[in-house]
Every structure is written in structure tokens, then in C-alpha cells.
Amino acid sequence: MKILLRADTHVNIELPVNAPAAKCTFTQVLTALSVSLGSMVIGYSSSYTSPGLVSMRDNSTTSFEVSKQMGMWIGSLMPLSALFGGIAGGPCIEYLGRRNTIVATALPFIGSWLLIALAQNVAMVLVGRAICGFSVGVASLSLPVYLGETIQTEVRGTLGLMPTAFGNAGILICFTAGMYLDWRNLALVGASLPIPFLILMFLIPETPRWYISKRKTKKSRKSLQWLRGKDTDITDELTMIEKLHAESEQNASQGTISELLKSNNLKPLLVSLGLMLFQQMSGINAVIFYTVQIFQDAGSTIDENLSTIIIGLVNFISTFVAAFTIDKLGRKVLLYVSGGAMVLTLFSLGGFFYVKSYGVDVTAFGWLPLVSLIVYVIGFSLGFGPIPWLMMGEILPAKIRGSAASIVTGFNWMCTFIVTKTFEDVIAVIGAHGTFWLFGAIVIVGFIFVIVSVPETRGRSLEEIEKRFNGPTRRMSAVANMKPMPMAC
């Protein structure tokens, strides 16, 4: 806990041994669960085209023709629309609030899926995917910001990865249901997922930091008290939030652009952009979108649909491993493990396709694509998958969090669109082996970027993280530097 009394002394003091440890409250878990159900909708939406396009091209279930080129547009239109949703989401979370913005995405999600399920022509499918993608962009921006501003420092890593786990659960649900349902029924399942998400979001409050930014101190105290528990003394934490907001107001420039270009704001923005760049340029969405095709091209001896489900299951389980270790090992260690695993498997997979391109019989190694992709997905889910989104909610300064998160989210979905739209074209130019080696080389650069530029945020409050980017810390009171006791969830 921190209390700011003066600004001229700086001494570290440990809390007394008999000080009560903070508790991970039920309300914080409920908050994380509510947000995570929204992430499940995003995961389902992102993976819909993998099984959906197969049955959509079947004339027995579709009254209109879907060409290969149109199928690529159906798949890539979602991330393209999410780009614009991410840009629009920034002003929304600033003016409407984090919670209200999230709630506002539920009905468009439901409407878009119903439009797809009832589609009589390909235009209705495209419009449905565009609306769904826009909602995905808004939600993917607002969910991590909301969670970062409500969860306590000591469990922000663990509970902060819950949305990623549920997002992967959405992918697994879509892959599994796709084995038994056609594209229309898959869309109806998608329309049902936002309903529990919408209900739970009405049970949780707006973030205390947003209330402070709107000078609603009483509502801020009430929100923070609900999140931390009715018997918890929240005076210290609320004082720090108010203090940091007052400082950011004093140092604020007139324009958003000039504020973003300040060195103390530009540094965390560039770090967040870099993490998003290497997340998407590692090729994960190309692998998820075209998993079945990759196994078909590899001539794998294992059924491609079963392989897809196995990868979805591994993706889901490995995120829980990250959730239970991130607050023990830290963000950077998991990013190192993640990068190493992805580099190894991408080069192995590239080697398999390289040998196969020369006509060598690879039947005896038919298991290699599945094993490589399993390890690749495990590596991604441990680090480069969830951590860029988690850190976006952690390192972006409060004053520019809305506009900066808008830029970062839009950039992420732009990279997603580029990778998924050009994946097959790149394979046609440099071959499957060259494509996977290219992804591997990009991950190596990302590994170096993490070593040089990414800060460790484990165990730090949002206010401490923001002060780290402000350069040399101002001299503060001894009590202001008290370190929080570890807590169990």
C-alpha cells in the first residue's frame, strides 16, 4: 500500500509482519469472469471461419455460391472491421466508460450472428462478419483496460489471463462444434454466447479510475470498496489513484497527439505496439485460420479435423499454466519461454515442408506437423498470446489509456488482417517452408525486443508502472514506498 504525505524524502519500509494480508475477493473473481465471457465471444468469432467455411462451400447447406476468393474475404473481413472497432473503442471508453462500452458490444454481437445464421446471400454473411468484427475490435480494447484498472496488483497476472483462457475456450468450442454443425447452426451458437456475458456485466461496477477521471469521487470509492471487499481499508489505494490523476492533469498538454508524443507516454506506447506486432507476425492467426489446410498440405497421417481439435484443446489448457505461473515467474520469463518454443517449432515445421518440397517421402514423419504445432501453440499461449494484451492494460499511462489503447488495438487487428489475407499468397511466392522460416525469424527479433525494451510489471501497481516510464522517480515519503504484502487468491 502507498500513502503520499510529502514529496521530498524517499525511503523503503516493509510492512509490519502482523499487518493483514490483502485478500483476493469474490467480487474480483466475478469481475474477471464477466470480462472473460466477453473474451470467449471474441475467440469464437475469430475461429468461426475455420470450420464454417467448409460447410458454407457445400451446396447442400448453402443457397449461394462461395468462391475461394470470397471465402478469404469472409475470413479476413472480421479482423479488418476489428481494426476500425479498435480505433472507435478508444473514445468510447473515455467518454462512455469502460463498463458501458463493453456492455454496448453484446447486442451487436447477437445481431451479427443472427444475420449470418439467416443469410440468404453472401452479402448478408459479409455484413454480419463486419458487424461482428467491429464489436470484436471494441471489446478487445476495452476488456484488458477494464480488468487492468479493477484487479489488485498481486493477482493481476493470474486473473488478467483468465480472458485469454476463455478466449481459447471459445476457439475450442467452435472447432469442436464445427465437426457436428453446419455454418448456420454454428452462427446460432455464436448468437447465444453473448447472453450470459451481458447478464454478468450488469452485476459489476465501472472502474474507480474512470470515475476519478470524471471527478466522481464518491462513486469511485463505492466501486473500489465493492472490488476490494467491504471490510478492506481502501484509503491508501484511492489516495494514490487520485494523486496520480492530479499529476497527469497538471502535466497534460492541450492536444491528444502532443500528449501521445511525450517521451514518458511514447515509450510505453511503443513497447505495447512492439508486443502486438510480434504477437501477430509470429503467424498465430494464420495457423489458427488455416489449421486444416496446413495438415492437408503436409500430408499428415493424422485426421486433420481431429488435429484441429487437439490444437484447440492444447491452446486452452496451456493458458491456465500461464495464468498460474505469471505472478510467480513474471511476464518476461514467460515471454522468453514462449519465444524459444515458437522459434524451435517454426523452423522444424519449415524444415519438414522443405524436405517434402523435394519429393522426399515423409510418411514416417507424418506426426511432425501435429507435434510441432502443439508445441508452437503451447509456446504462444504461455507468453506472446496473452501477455501483450495484459501489458497493454498495465503499462499505458492513465491519461492517454483510451487513445493509446485504441491505437494499439487497431494496430493489432491491422497486423492480423495482413497476415491472414496474405498467408496463402506468401506461401505461393516463397513456399510453405519459407513462410514458416519467415515467421521464425520474426519471433527471433521479437525475443531480442523483449530482452531490450519490455519492462517487468509483476507485483507493481499501475501507478508504480507509470512512474517507471516517467524517468527518475520524484522523492516521495517513506510511507509512499511501502511494499504490499503478498496475498493468496
**Are the CB atoms for 417 and 79 separated by under 8 Å?**
yes
Half-sphere exposure of 377 (CA within 13 A, CB side): 28
Q: What is the pLDDT of residue 304?
A: 64
83 falls within a domain? yes
What are the angstrom distances between the C-alpha of 280 and each of 289, 389, 411, 442? 13, 12, 10, 10
457-469 pLDDT, tens digit each:
887 877 787 777 7
Model confidence band, residue 270 (pLDDT cutoffs 50, 70, 90) = very high
Kindly state the average pLDDT of the residues 384-399. 85
Cell 447447406 -> residue: 61
The span from the CA of 453 to the CA of 270, in Å, is 9
232 falls within a domain? no
Final residue of a structural domain among 163, 178, 204: 204
277 with 196, same domain?
no
281 with 417, same domain?
yes
The three three-digit cell numbers of residue 20, written as one number? 493483514
216-237 pLDDT, tens digit each:
999 999 999 999 988 888 888 8
Q: What is the pLDDT of residue 109?
A: 97
**Residue 304: which CATH number?**
1.20.1250.20
Number of domains forming the structure of the chain: 2
The span from the CA of 59 to the CA of 164, in Å, is 36
145 with 277, same domain?
no
87 with 160, same domain?
yes
272 with 180, same domain?
no
185 with 274, same domain?
no
- Residue spans of alpha helices (H) in 330-400: 331-357, 368-382, 387-395
Greater pLDDT, 328 or 297: 328
Kindly state the average pLDDT of the residues 141-170. 85
The span from the CA of 416 to the CA of 358, in Å, is 31
**Are the CB atoms for 314 and 377 separated by under 8 Å?**
yes
385 falls within a domain? yes
152 with 293, same domain?
no
Q: What is the pLDDT of residue 293?
A: 61
The three three-digit cell numbers of residue 24, written as one number? 483476493
Express as a percent the part of the chain with pLDDT over 90.
34
- Structural domain including 326 reads 260-457+464-469
The span from the CA of 251 to the CA of 371, in Å, is 52
162-213 pLDDT, tens digit each:
888 898 899 889 988 988 898 999 999 999 999 999 999 999 999 999 999 8
**Are the CB atoms for 339 and 447 separated by under 8 Å?**
yes
The span from the CA of 178 to the CA of 261, in Å, is 46
Ranking 90-104, 243-257, 462-476 by mean pLDDT, the lowest is: 462-476
282 with 196, same domain?
no
Residues 6 or more apart whose CB falls under 8 angstroms from that of 16 comprise none
Express as a percent the part of the chain with pLDDT over 70.
85
339 with 405, same domain?
yes
83 with 199, same domain?
yes
Final residue of a structural domain among 188, 204, 220: 204
14 falls within a domain? no
Model confidence band, residue 483 (pLDDT cutoffs 50, 70, 90) = very low
**Looking at 42-174, which runs of residues are DSSP E strands?**
none
244 falls within a domain? no
19 falls within a domain? no
Mean pLDDT of the residues in the chain: 82
The span from the CA of 38 to the CA of 212, in Å, is 25
401-433 pLDDT, tens digit each:
778 888 898 899 899 888 877 887 888 899 888
184 with 268, same domain?
no
438 falls within a domain? yes
2 falls within a domain? no
Q: What is the pLDDT of residue 254?
A: 53
290 with 177, same domain?
no
Residues 6 or more apart whose CB falls under 8 angstroms from that of 69 comprise none
